[in-house]
């Protein structure tokens, strides 16, 4: 250590250190809170690593009133598709249905019913209005694990060749569509 | 001033997780879930204890009653039965859910501070103590100024 | 006793607190005795107003006044009376009011019991407490008013989460809050000392009893919380390193460091600046812990209704309290006179080491808790930090802490020789060595073995300390008894608290050897676990006040002799559509026999039941040890020296440092 360890400046700096650390943490918290109110920061998002990877191998059976699909179907695509995990027992899924019903004319949506009895999923889709071009049933929830799904609703934007380009674990909102999904989907079409 | 009926102040340990899973079911609630071979079952439990239940608080999938945790327990046991190594199973999980699923974060650049914290805190503590207690005595406080002397005599007289 | 009166009393308390924060400070700086004398009066007045306000809320809950939004959302006619009362603090608004009430009681306590303090110091301490109280009462009034009305009033309330309808949980929050809030008093002493620019032995002596009292409550609160999760969750877990739990552990660790460093201030006038910082830090951690978990940042639970707007208010308040006090610290602390030098091998040297280790553990827990949200904010990556991480990082710091803990109380002040201390501890070391060997053969896992050995070491060295002071077995017993009567209670208190730590650690080591089985059985079928035979003899329905239940009868026999009959049950609460499991626990203090009733399978003619059976060796020791620690703290508080020997300050200085 130095020859003049009791220099007053250094002492002052040491005493100010707690304030500096607390200030830094405080600013961090403030940014988190403001991010949460604006929707740009979600402490619950688990950032599953599916992004920019090909869709996992899976093949799921039909879910009435739609037809099931497999990884091969998605990989053979030339245009982007939105893959939406949903369930009849999930309340946020009900909330995002009107938004999906508006979106379906601009972007095809393929649904996967997660851990749902086929008759319940059918009832749900009939009540809410069917936004899905195809619907598959993931009854035991094992394909969902391959997708890295931790709950419903979860939504993936799958680009040409079956590459996952975008992902969210929150219900789809109008803002997401105009700000993120459609611009990205349009750029992928070319 | 709308309050969620289940809302509870944050103090009570783990309540939040219970709020999420309204049915307090048991973790491994079906004996048929367990592997017949006790050695394999033990290994599966050890792996499960390292994996986070994705939808709960800091609970491992072995301790959680959530649906997804049960599925993951099932997957772990399938892989153990197939004879995969712990590392393979861990990689399989991380590949799907990222490092979020590991209750013990991996040692990377990003988690450097986290992992060196015990040593760092200890070194800073010892360093400050060493620096403080071996330095020469603080100088004698300067003698009182006239102003201070006057105030002192004022105060001592009024007492 | 109507809600409007409660609301008015709360607003009145807020005004009084504001007055309490400002007037005595002016009085203290101008040496105006009349303004300073306002402090105790306002503190007591504020306390009475808040007690009235809280009583009004309890009254509304008891009389089922569902026009009060808070009662309607959390209570119901059918709820038992006990839970109507305890349900008052079982929700956000009510718990903030409870928090404010306890804070006002701390102010009242300083007003009533702090008469021996110099009037300027007392006025400043009460003013700081008033300032904090005013902030939280304002928070309560503006964003979380428990007296808000709802119209039209519903016929019945929505009821309370059945999990909260539990006696252990019902009394847990007040005790825990008293612990958290109690550290506001040392905090206020620290701020007052910084304003005065003076910390001395007398200050250390005044602040320590308040810190010890808060520490006792916090210890009890944590032990109760852990016990609650042990018997409510139904799988024998007792600590999860969950952010909510860590929020209570962090101030406990710094609070423990504070209780020890204040001794050094009192006896040796050293570590003064550090002790002031610890007092500020402990209360800051209590505050941020309790309130940030409500903002939703630290929780990863989707259903947790959180309110970022409320979080912003809290953050502003925290910035004011914590930022303000640390700013004051940064400005004034460098001017405090430095303490004495001391040798590394001495009581104070070991106390410094104790502080370093405790604060390192605290830093680890704090980093582990804060890392995930910050990682997510800064790098957009998520990680989890859970039990395996905390076990791997805190235990290596805790073991040396416990080893040094054995030496501490024996060490003389100033400058010590190792040899005499070691000579007095030889038998404790022998017992530890035996324990180490036995544990190695019994357990065969490195960490539990080390934990067992260090725990035995702590208990034995605490006993050795007392034996040494009593000259036990070296003098006739009568003389030892005489010495015991004249020995200060604080010595016994410290030894008990240290032994309590050892007992907790033994309990944790024992729990690492717990055994469990999950079985599916018919009525009449037996299963073996840990050498006992468990037989399900009966399963019957039962009715409760607001639930229906299924109650099992399990007989546990050892070699054919009946040990106990367990009655675990499953309760269904119709009004909330919830089911809870009621664990049945039989304890003989050496182990818990713990049974849980799970799902019913099969048809009604021939049903099978899933049972979860646990054998948890030494489990009760964890909570018993916690209570012993708290009792040790309370015993040292009852020391004559704390009550009578209130010190007088050296006369000179008050004046010189006033700006």
CA distances (Å), origin A51, targets A42, A69, C300, C468? 17, 20, 22, 67
| Cβ–Cβ gap A5/B98 under 8 Å | no
Subunits in contact with chain A (3 or more CB pairs closer than 8 Å):
B, C
Average pLDDT, chain C: 88
DSSP-derived secondary structure letter, A54: B
Quick one: pLDDT band at residue B16, thresholds 50, 70, 90?
Answer: very low
Closest residue of chain A to C374, computed from CA coordinates: A28
| Cβ–Cβ gap B57/C301 under 8 Å | yes
Q: Give dist(CA C298, CA C253) in Å, integer.
A: 20
CB within 8 Å of chain B, chain C residues 330-369? 337-338, 341-342, 344, 352, 355-357, 359-360, 363-364, 367-368
Domain spanning B15-101 has what CATH number? 1.10.8.640
Q: Measured between beta carbons, which residues in chain A are less than 8 angstroms from residue C380?
A: 47
What integer pLDDT is reported at residue C645 of this predicted model? 47
Q: For residue B96, give the nearest of A1, A115, A148 by CB distance.
A: A148
Q: Which of A9-23, C291-305, C358-372 has the lowest mean pLDDT?
A: C291-305
Quick one: pLDDT band at residue B136, thresholds 50, 70, 90?
Answer: low
Closest residue of chain C to B110, computed from CA coordinates: C375
Quick one: pLDDT band at residue B5, thresholds 50, 70, 90?
Answer: very low
| Residue C571 falls inside a structural domain | yes
Once rounded to an integer, what is the mean pLDDT over residues C248-257? 96
Once rounded to an integer, what is the mean pLDDT over residues A85-107? 88
| Cβ–Cβ gap A12/C309 under 8 Å | no
Once rounded to an integer, what is the mean pLDDT over residues C589-605? 86
Q: Measured between beta carbons, which residues in chain A are less than 8 angstroms from residue B100?
A: 46-48
Tell me: pLDDT of C472 over 60: yes
% of chain B surpassing 70 pLDDT: 70
Q: Measured between beta carbons, which residues in chain A are less than 8 angstroms from residue B136?
A: 6
Subunits in contact with chain B (3 or more CB pairs closer than 8 Å):
A, C
∠ CA C591-C596-C600, rounded to 5°: 155
| Cβ–Cβ gap A47/C323 under 8 Å | no
Once rounded to an integer, what is the mean pLDDT over residues C554-558? 93
| Residue C545 falls inside a structural domain | yes
Tell me: pLDDT of C479 over 60: yes
Backbone angles phi, psi at A82, to 5 degrees: -100, 125
What integer pLDDT is reported at residue C209 of this predicted model? 93
| Residue C442 falls inside a structural domain | no
What integer pLDDT is reported at residue C460 of this predicted model? 95
| Cβ–Cβ gap B128/A14 under 8 Å | yes
CA distances (Å), origin C60, targets B69, C7, C10, C343? 42, 12, 15, 61
Q: Residue C66 in contact with residue C151, Cβ under 8 Å?
A: no
Domain range enclosing C58: 1-160
For residue C159, the Cα-to-chain-centroid distance in whole angstroms is: 28
Quick one: pLDDT band at residue C80, thresholds 50, 70, 90?
Answer: confident
Shortest alpha-carbon distance between residue C26 and chain A (Å): 26
Give me C540's structure tokens: 């019957």
CA distances (Å), origin C332, targets B122, C48, C271, C273? 26, 35, 15, 10
Tell me: pLDDT of C396 over 60: yes
pLDDT tens by residue, C33-77? 999 999 999 999 999 999 999 999 999 999 999 999 889 888 888
Quick one: pLDDT band at residue B142, thresholds 50, 70, 90?
Answer: low
C143 or C398: which carries more pLDDT confidence? C398
Q: Choose one of C144, C160, C176: the last residue of a domain.
A: C160
| Residue C439 falls inside a structural domain | no
| Selection from C180, C179, C160, C176 nearest residue C168 by Cα | C176
Strand-pairing partners, residue C520, are C610
Give the residue from C236, C244, C652 with the most B CB atoms within 10 Å of its CB, the best one to mutate: C244
Once rounded to an integer, what is the mean pLDDT over residues C16-21? 95
Closest residue of chain C to A26, computed from CA coordinates: C319
Once rounded to an integer, what is the mean pLDDT over residues C385-395? 92
What integer pLDDT is reported at residue B7 of this predicted model? 27
Chain B contact for C386, CB < 8 A?
yes
CB burial of residue C477 (10 Å; 0-12, 13-18, 19+): exposed
Chain A contact for B46, CB < 8 A?
no
What integer pLDDT is reported at residue C192 of this predicted model? 95
Q: Residue B99 in contact with residue C382, Cβ under 8 Å?
A: yes
Q: For residue A37, give the nearest of C309, C372, C380 by CB distance.
A: C309
What integer pLDDT is reported at residue C110 of this predicted model? 94
| Cβ–Cβ gap A141/B55 under 8 Å | no
Once rounded to an integer, what is the mean pLDDT over residues C575-585? 80
Domains and CATH numbers, chain A: 1-43 (no CATH), 71-189 (3.40.30.10)
Q: SS3 of C74, please?
A: helix
Tell me: pLDDT of C7 over 90: yes
So where are chain B's domains?
15-101, 112-158
Q: Give dist(CA C622, CA C514) in Å, integer.
A: 14
Q: Give dist(CA A140, CA A93) in Å, integer.
A: 19
pLDDT tens by residue, C487-531? 888 899 999 999 999 999 999 999 988 888 888 888 999 999 988
Q: Choose one of C587, C603, C620: the last residue of a domain.
A: C620
| Residue C468 falls inside a structural domain | no
Once rounded to an integer, what is the mean pLDDT over residues C566-581? 82
Q: Choose one of C126, C160, C194: the last residue of a domain.
A: C160
∠ CA C83-C89-C93, rounded to 5°: 135
Strand-pairing partners, residue C555, are C535, C565
Tell me: pLDDT of B13 over 60: no
Q: Give dist(CA C382, CA C378) in Å, integer.
A: 10
What integer pLDDT is reported at residue C178 of this predicted model? 94
Closest residue of chain C to B23, computed from CA coordinates: C579
Give the residue from A2, A3, A4, A6 with the most B CB atoms within 10 Å of its CB, the best one to mutate: A6
pLDDT tens by residue, B84-128? 999 999 999 999 888 889 999 999 888 999 999 999 999 999 998
Quick one: pLDDT band at residue B27, thresholds 50, 70, 90?
Answer: very low
Chain C contact for B30, CB < 8 A?
yes
What integer pLDDT is reported at residue C646 of this predicted model? 52
Give me A42's structure tokens: 């979600």
How many domains does chain C fold into? 2
A48 or C436: which carries more pLDDT confidence? C436
A170 or C644: which carries more pLDDT confidence? A170
Give me B120's structure tokens: 């760092």
What integer pLDDT is reported at residue B15 of this predicted model? 37
| Cβ–Cβ gap B131/A148 under 8 Å | no
| Cβ–Cβ gap C380/A47 under 8 Å | yes
∠ CA C243-C246-C249, rounded to 5°: 165
What integer pLDDT is reported at residue B29 of this predicted model? 58
| Residue C7 falls inside a structural domain | yes
What integer pLDDT is reported at residue B93 of this predicted model? 93
Q: Give dist(CA C479, CA C128) in Å, integer.
A: 49
The domain that holds C529 is classified in CATH as 2.60.98
Quick one: pLDDT band at residue C1, thresholds 50, 70, 90?
Answer: low
| Cβ–Cβ gap C373/A43 under 8 Å | yes
What integer pLDDT is reported at residue B18 of this predicted model? 34
| Residue C140 falls inside a structural domain | yes
Give the residue from A15, A25, A47 with the most C CB atoms within 10 Å of its CB, the best one to mutate: A15
């Amino acid at each position: 250590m130095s020859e003049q360890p009791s220099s007053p400046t250094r002492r002052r700096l040491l005493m100010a250190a707690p304030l500096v650390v607390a200030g830094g943490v405080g600013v961090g918290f403030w940014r988190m809170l403001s991010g949460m109110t604006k929707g740009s920061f979600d402490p619950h998002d688990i950032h599953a690593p599916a992004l920019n990877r090909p869709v996992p191998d899976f093949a799921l059976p039909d879910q009435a009133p739609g037809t099931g699909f497999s990884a091969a179907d998605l990989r053979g695509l030339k245009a982007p598709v939105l893959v939406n995990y949903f369930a009849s027992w999930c309340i946020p899924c009900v909330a995002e249905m009107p938004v999906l019903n508006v979106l379906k004319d601009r972007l095809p949506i393929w649904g996967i019913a997660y851990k749902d009895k086929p008759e319940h999923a059918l009832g749900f889709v009939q009540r809410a209005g069917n936004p899905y071009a195809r619907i598959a049933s993931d009854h035991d929830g094992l394909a969902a694990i391959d997708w890295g799904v931790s709950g419903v609703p979860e939504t993936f934007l799958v680009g040409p060749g079956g590459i996952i380009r975008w992902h969210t674990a929150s219900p789809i909102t109008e803002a997401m569509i105009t700000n993120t999904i459609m611009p990205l989907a349009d750029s992928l079409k070319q | 001033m709308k309050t969620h009926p289940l809302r509870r102040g944050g103090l009570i340990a783990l309540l939040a997780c219970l709020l999420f899973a309204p049915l307090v079911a048991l973790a491994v609630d079906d004996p048929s879930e367990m592997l017949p071979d006790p050695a394999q079952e033990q290994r599966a439990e050890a792996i499960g204890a390292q994996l986070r239940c994705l939808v709960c608080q800091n609970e491992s999938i072995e301790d959680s009653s959530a649906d997804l945790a049960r599925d993951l327990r099932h997957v772990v046991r399938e892989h153990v039965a197939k004879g995969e190594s712990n590392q393979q199973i861990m990689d399989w999980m991380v590949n799907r859910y990222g490092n979020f699923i590991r209750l013990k974060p991996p040692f990377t650049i990003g988690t450097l501070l986290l992992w060196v914290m015990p040593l760092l805190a200890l070194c800073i503590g010892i360093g400050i103590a060493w620096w403080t207690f071996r330095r020469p005595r603080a100088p004698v406080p300067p003698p009182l100024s006239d102003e201070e002397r006057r105030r002192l005599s004022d105060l001592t007289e009024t007492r | 006793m109507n809600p409007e009166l409660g609301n008015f009393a709360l607003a009145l308390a807020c005004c009084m607190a504001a007055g309490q924060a400002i007037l005595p400070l002016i009085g203290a700086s101008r040496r105006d005795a009349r303004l300073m004398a306002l402090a105790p009066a306002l503190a007591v007045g504020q306390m009475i107003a808040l007690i009235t306000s809280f009583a009004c809320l309890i009254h509304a809950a008891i009389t089922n006044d569902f026009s009060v939004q808070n009662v309607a959302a959390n209570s119901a006619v059918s709820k038992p009376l006990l839970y109507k009362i305890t349900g008052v603090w079982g929700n956000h608004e009510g718990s903030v009011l409870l928090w404010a009430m306890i804070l006002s009681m701390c102010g009242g306590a300083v007003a009533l019991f702090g008469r021996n303090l110099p009037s300027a110091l007392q006025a400043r301490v009460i003013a700081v407490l008033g300032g904090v109280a005013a902030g939280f009462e304002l928070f309560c009034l503006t964003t979380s008013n428990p007296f808000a009305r709802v119209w039209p009033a519903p016929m019945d309330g929505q009821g309370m989460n059945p999990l909260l309808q539990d006696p252990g949980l019902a009394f847990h929050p007040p005790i825990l809050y008293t612990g958290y809030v109690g550290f506001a008093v040392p905090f206020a002493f620290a701020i007052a000392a910084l304003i005065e620019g003076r910390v001395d032995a007398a200050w250390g002596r005044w602040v320590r009893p308040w810190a010890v009292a808060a520490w006792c409550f916090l210890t009890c609160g944590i032990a109760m919380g852990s016990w609650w999760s042990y018997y409510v969750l139904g799988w024998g877990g007792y600590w999860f390193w969950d952010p909510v739990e860590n929020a209570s552990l962090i101030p406990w660790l710094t609070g423990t460091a504070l209780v020890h460093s204040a001794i050094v201030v009192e006896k040796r006038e050293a570590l003064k600046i550090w002790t002031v910082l610890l007092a500020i830090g402990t209360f800051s951690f209590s505050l941020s812990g309790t309130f940030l978990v409500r903002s939703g940042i630290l929780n990863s639970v989707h259903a947790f209704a959180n309110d970022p707007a409320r979080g912003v208010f809290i953050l502003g308040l925290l910035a004011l309290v914590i930022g303000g006090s640390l700013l004051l610290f940064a400005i004034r602390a460098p001017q405090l006179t430095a303490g004495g030098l001391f040798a590394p091998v001495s009581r104070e040297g070991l106390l410094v080491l104790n502080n370093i280790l405790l604060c390192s553990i605290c830093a680890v827990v704090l980093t582990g808790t804060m890392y995930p949200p910050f990682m997510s904010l800064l790098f957009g990556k998520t990680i989890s930090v859970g039990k395996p991480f905390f076990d791997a990082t805190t235990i290596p710091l805790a073991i040396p802490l416990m080893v040094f803990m054995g030496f501490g109380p024996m060490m003389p002040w100033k400058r010590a020789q190792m040899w005499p201390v070691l000579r007095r501890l030889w038998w404790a070391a022998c017992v530890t060595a035996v324990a180490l060997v036995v544990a190695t053969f019994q357990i065969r896992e490195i960490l539990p073995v080390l934990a067992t050995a260090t725990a035995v070491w702590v208990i034995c060295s605490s006993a050795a300390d007392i034996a040494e002071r009593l000259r036990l077995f070296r003098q006739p017993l009568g003389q030892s008894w005489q010495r015991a009567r004249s020995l200060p209670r604080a010595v016994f208190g410290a030894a008990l608290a240290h032994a309590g730590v050892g007992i907790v650690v033994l309990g944790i080591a024992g729990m690492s050897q717990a055994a469990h089985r999950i079985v599916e059985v018919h009525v009449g079928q037996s299963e073996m676990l840990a050498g006992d035979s468990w037989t399900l003899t009966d399963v019957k329905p039962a009715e409760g006040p607001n639930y229906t239940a299924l109650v099992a009868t399990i007989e546990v026999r050892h070699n054919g002799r009946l040990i106990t009959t367990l009655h675990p049950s499953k309760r269904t609460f119709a009004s909330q559509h919830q089911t809870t499991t009621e664990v049945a626990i039989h304890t003989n203090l050496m182990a818990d026999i713990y049974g849980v009733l799970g799902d019913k399978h099969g048809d009604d003619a021939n049903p099978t039941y899933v049972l979860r059976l646990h054998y948890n060796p030494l489990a009760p020791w964890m909570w018993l040890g916690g209570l012993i620690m708290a009792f040790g703290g309370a015993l040292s508080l009852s020391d004559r020296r704390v009550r009578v020997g209130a010190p007088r300050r050296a006369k000179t200085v008050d004046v010189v440092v006033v700006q």
